[in-house]
Amino acid sequence: MSEQLPPPVQPEETVTPVTPEPETQEGSRSQQVLRDILGGSAMISVLAVVLALIAGAILIAVTDKNVQAASGYFFSRPGDTLKAIWDAAAGAYSALFQGSIYNFRRPGFADGIKPLTETLTFATPLIAAGLGVAVSFRTGLFNIGGRGQMLVAAGAAGYVAFTFPMPFPLHLIVAVIAGVAAGAIWGGIAGLLKARTGAHEVIVTIMLNYIGLYLISYLLRTQGALQAPGSNNPKSPAMLPSAVFPDLLGAKYNLHWGFIFAIAATVWVWYLINRSNLGFQFRAVGANPHAARVAGMNVKNIYVYAMLISGGLIGLAGVAQILGTVTTGFSEGIDAGIGFDAITVALLGRSKPVGVFFAGILFGALKAGGYSMQAAQGVPVDIVLVVQSLIVLFIAAPPLVRAIFRLPVPGSMRRAKALNPNAMVTK
Amino acid sequence: MSVATSTSPAQTVSLSKAAVRNWKPPIGFGIFAIIALLLFTVGARSGITTFRLSTSSDLIQLPAISADVVIVTTVVVILLFAMAAYSAWLSYRAMRTPLWMTALFAALFLVAFLTWAAAGQLIPVPGLLVGAVGLSAPLIFGSLGGVISERVGVVNIAIEGQLLAGAFASAVVASITQQPVLGLLAAVIAGMLVSFVLAAFSIKYIVDQVIVGVVLNVLVIGLTSFLFSKLLSPNAALLNSPPRFPRLPIPLLGEIPIIGPVFFRQTIIIYIMYVAVAAVWFALFKTKWGLRLRAVGEHPQAADTVGINVNRTRFWNVSLAGAIAGLGGAYFTLGSVGAFNKEMTAGAGFIALAAVIFGRWDPIRATLAALLFGFASNLQSVLSIVGSPVPSQFMLMLPYLVTIFAVAGLVGQVRAPAASGKAYVKS
């Protein structure tokens, strides 16, 4: 998987321009519009979510005790089985809804809406980390190292947050900067190694995940580093109040200012990718590094910058975790799988800042609702991982979704190439 | 008569061999010698370390070896510096540092390190090595799967998922049937199923292979954790108490001192592993099948031109890779631990991936790399029992650090199969 430097010129990679499918102009304009909507990426995204939820429902129903009991006498009373299946799936998904958006059982709007704020709290690190992964995707890099970047960011920000007392806004800002910088450095290592030695960033980031994990694990067990003084547990002390994100909607809700940071990060990444000079170079390198080099861009530096920014944004996710969500001290599980979730968030959001924002909220809802689903219906929260990964699998393979729903194909080869620029297309 | 031959004076083109001085070995040796010097002088320890070479059940008893820490470390440090100097002289004369010297250097360093780390304690050498082989087994199966898959041109990030699926399936099937052999079969099928998804998405739907791999890992973790919480833990007696394979000592070979207990008093899975390593090596490099496989992975277009069905070759070999990796998963439940647990592979798949790269996509070298990683991991647990001065986290970090150095080109040349990671689209 490692790439050589300079990359060998592979003649087969110079892809012959793919001729678009000869579209038979049989339909009218309105039919064409309908076809674009049905075959378009937004429709695929929605259908992928639906398909994944259906698959999740099947899984929930199959493992449900009542369904199993009722299926024992399926042929004498099939209605019972169907009712049990419906009860299991509907119960689980209504618990998911009530745990993530609005709880009808609570009195009053202020209490009822609390789940939505929980969703946004869960979404905050997902959005930040998803943006980081999206930046790397747009540059043609795979940042699989979210876990390591989040952990070192949490370590750095946490150290600043509980060791150096400072007045309130300053302390928070310094802690955030420390965390973002640590994440950026951890990501930048992968970028630097790719630029200077051609080491494949997927391998390096995966390995850096574990190095970061064991490093933080060691520091959390070392007095004077990250371990709480006088404690034997591998856990840090609580953050000083001056370094904690203030509550956004009052003490009643867990939602904190980290969410505003996530919104700001979304806007900033949008500006960076779509409007800035650097973002243009990111996209150019992502589309075709050879062409970008010919156009005079310094591809190696772009790799380093992209990984720095990507790592920094993922670092922000780690910071949001320890200074916003869990402020009573963190352990080595603080990343909570967000580093990998971020990949699915970026893929669902198609690496576009606004898309990532809403994908982050959707997955935040799945997480928030997943816990209430576990509490209320006894459905293990791991089902969220299944639904999440199925969504991404379906989204990544539009032909599959189209085949399932018998949707029209909006021009075949172009789409395949756009999905995977690495693909060799022979003519 | 003479033919007018334009006799150019016979130019004896003397192909003078360019003096290529490779300074990497002496630099590497020097760094490690300095590390040894610092470690053994700054952290100087004294006492007698005892190496026990035989277990009580051995037929031939070897006497235990006692070593004085100060003497051993002093002698070894001097030897290490001497070897570094000799290697530098060889490099100056543009000669290669022979492989046996590297091996000897590593062995000396290791002996001194062990003596130093366990000062005043007893080290059971057979126990250390038996544990290392046990920890390596899933890594070796996983890396064989990785080698086959990447050699045929499909990046296999999903080794972790294949191992986990194998572990889960083997635990369930072996528990229900009480037949460990059937469990083994189930592991093969489960690993293959994961590979089917990887192959289908990356070959048929041309989704980026890294994305599919990462998502598949999440999917398998989610699925197995969900089923574990929902089905396995409530019915542990029925579904999660697999019988383990007994140890099968091989009559004569098992009595050889040290080697016997380590290699020939193992479970049947380990013996299958020996056969698998040899078979994969032979098949890859000595058979028509292996030639085709490698051709598809290096230059699919050329392979296609001579009539090899690229995508079919890829599909079935990726499936084979999954089957082998699944066997490694079975070792977790049927060979060592005994019952399935959530995420029990704990990153073994990624270490296997590291072994593939460190082993340069060669089955034998990958096996040796996996053995090295397994040894480092077991050394860490043995040393934490005797109370080593080196924090265990740094020992655990070792495989990942080594891999980063390997892909960064600091440890020899690392070159992936040329078409690995690239989908092949024929049109």
* Whole-number average pLDDT of chain B: 84
Q: What is the pLDDT of residue A88?
A: 86
Out of B230, B393, B404, the one facing A217 most closely (by C-beta) is B393
User: Would the CB atoms of A420 and B207 count as touching at under 8 Å?
Assistant: yes
Provide the CB-side half-sphere exposure for B88 (13 A, CA).
Answer: 11
Interval A253-309: pLDDT, tens = 888 999 999 999 999 999 999 999 999 999 999 999 999 999 999 999 999 999 999
Rounded Cα distance between B287 and B266, Å, is 30
pLDDT band at A19 (very low <50, low <70, confident <90, very high): very low
Is residue A211 within 8 angstroms of chain B, CB to CB? yes
Q: Do A2 and B304 lie within an 8 Å CB cutoff?
A: no
Burial of A169 from C-beta contacts in 10 A (0-12 / 13-18 / 19+): exposed
Residue A371 domain boundaries = 35-412
Domains and CATH numbers, chain B: 24-120 (no CATH), 126-407 (1.10.3470.10)
Q: For residue A196, count other CB atoms closer than 10 A to its CB.
A: 14
Contact B214 A340 (CB under 8 A): yes
Minimal-distance CA residue of chain A relative to B397: A211
Q: How far apart (Å, rounded) are the C-alpha atoms in residues A202 and A197? A: 14
Question: H helices of B118-235, where?
Answer: 125-151, 159-177, 180-199, 209-227
Alpha-carbon torsion A197, A203, A209, A210, what sign?
negative
Q: Is residue A178 part of a domain?
A: yes
Residue A19 covered by a domain: no
Interchain pair B207, A207: CB under 8 A:
no
In a domain, A425, yes or no: no
Give the pLDDT score at A2: 41
pTM above threshold 0.80: yes
Asked if the model's pLDDT at residue B169 lies above 90, the reply is yes
Cβ of A193 under 8 Å from any chain B Cβ? Answer: yes
In a domain, A242, yes or no: yes
Judged by CB atoms closer than 8 Å, whether chains meet at B415 and A2 is answered as yes
For an interface test with A, which of B197, B360, B404, B422 has the most A Cβ atoms less than 10 Å from its Cβ? Answer: B404
Q: How far is CA B207 from the centre of its chain?
A: 28
Query: Domain for residue A20, yes or no?
Result: no
- Is pLDDT above 80 for A5? no
Nearest to A380 among B157, B225, B427 (CB): B225
Which residues does chain B have within 8 Å of residue A207's beta carbon, measured at their own beta carbons?
A: 350, 354, 400-401, 403-404
Which residues from chain A sit within 8 angstroms of residue B400, using beta carbons?
A: 207-208, 210-211
Note which residues in 140-169 of chain B have CB less than 8 A from chain A.
Answer: 150, 155, 157
Tell me the per-residue pLDDT of B382-414, one tens digit each, with 9 for 90 and over. 887 777 777 888 888 887 887 787 777 665 556
Mutate to test the interface with A, among B217, B230, B401 (most CBs of A within 10 A): B230
Q: How many CB atoms lie within 10 A of CB B398?
A: 18
| CATH at residue A398 | 1.10.3470
Given a cut of 70, whether residue A248 has pLDDT beyond it is yes
Per-residue pLDDT at A418:
54
A356 part of a folded domain: yes
B302 interfaces chain A, CB cutoff of 8 Å: no
Query: What is the per-residue pLDDT for A3?
Result: 40
Banded model confidence at residue B19, pLDDT cuts 50, 70, 90: low
pLDDT at A15: 41
Interchain contact B362–A (C-beta under 8 A): no
Which residue did the predictor score with more confidence, A59 or A16?
A59
Smallest Cα distance from A344 to chain B, Å: 8
In contact, B424 and A19? CB cutoff 8 Å = no
Give the nearest chain A residue to B348 (CA atoms).
Answer: A210
pLDDT per residue as tens digits for the range B35-53? 888 888 887 777 788 887 7
pLDDT tens for A370-385 read: 888 888 888 888 898 8
Q: Output the pLDDT for position A150.
A: 95
Q: With beta carbons under 8 A apart, name residues in chain B contacting A142.
A: 210-211
Residue of A nearest to B202 (CA): A397
How many structural domains are present in chain A?
1
pLDDT averaged over chain A? 84
> Cβ of A380 and B226 within 8 Å?
yes
pLDDT at position A347: 86
Label residue A45 exposed, middle or buried (CB < 10 Å: 0-12, 13-18, 19+). Answer: buried
Quick one: pLDDT band at residue A25, thresholds 50, 70, 90? very low
Q: CA dihedral in degrees (B178, B180, B186, B187; nearest 10)?
A: 140
Asked if B238 is an interface residue toward chain A (Cβ–Cβ < 8 A), one would say: no
**Could you give the C-alpha distances from B57 to A33, B256, B258, in angstroms and in order?**
80, 12, 12
Whether A424 maps to a domain, the answer reads no
Least Cα distance to B241 among B307, B177, B317, B156 occurs for B177
Contact call for B205 and A386, based on CB within 8 A: no
Q: Is B123 helix (H, G, I), strand (E, B) or coil?
A: strand
Decide: helix, strand or coil at residue B65: strand
Residue A164 has pLDDT above 60, yes or no: yes
CB-nearest partner of B207 from A388, A396, A426: A396
Lowest mean pLDDT among A174-183, B3-12, B97-106, B243-252: B3-12
Write a three-state SS string for B36-55: HHHHHHHCCCCCEEEEECCC
Cβ contact (<8 Å) for B400 and A413? no
Is any Cβ of chain B less than 8 angstroms from the Cβ of A380? Answer: yes
Residue A346 lies in a domain: yes
